[in-house]
Amino acid sequence: MRFMMIVKATTDSEEGKMPSPELIEAMQKYNEELVKAGVLLAGDGLHPSSNGIRISYPEAGGKPKVMDGPFTESKELIAGYTLIEVKSREEAIEWALRMPDPHGFGQGEIELRQVFEAVDLTDNPEFLEKEAALRKHVEERQKA
């Protein structure tokens, strides 16, 4: 089971304030624990929404609309993520609870969401085979 820990943005992260050296060290230690346990798939911090681009689809079949950041609803914005693969929902929660406060100062908020697997979406063997081939291709490119 894959889960994404979504780190919510704060006023500080949206202003581009960098984490303290202590927080960077705590996050590095946490990431090392994830790697040692063999559950870390990916994880990164994101630039503020002022550097972001939002694409919306105002109507079905309509032309996409491109809007440059910043975006005002900071509670709904994402400052970073960690993607893990674990055996259960409970294990994902345990790992999320161990993450240091991602912004420090008691402002951090993490949303934990399970990632859909291809078999959750369809039982069409042709689709599943194509999806497996795509994932294998991505893994091979990452190794290169």
Domains and CATH numbers, the chain: 2-117 (3.30.70.1060)
| pLDDT-derived band at 133, boundaries 50, 70, 90 | confident
> Of 118 and 70, which is predicted with more confidence?
70
* pLDDT, average across residues 1-6: 96
Look up tokens 């291809």; give the residue. 118
Please write the tens of the pLDDT for every residue from 46-100. Answer: 999 999 999 998 888 889 999 999 987 766 899 999 999 999 999 999 999 999 9
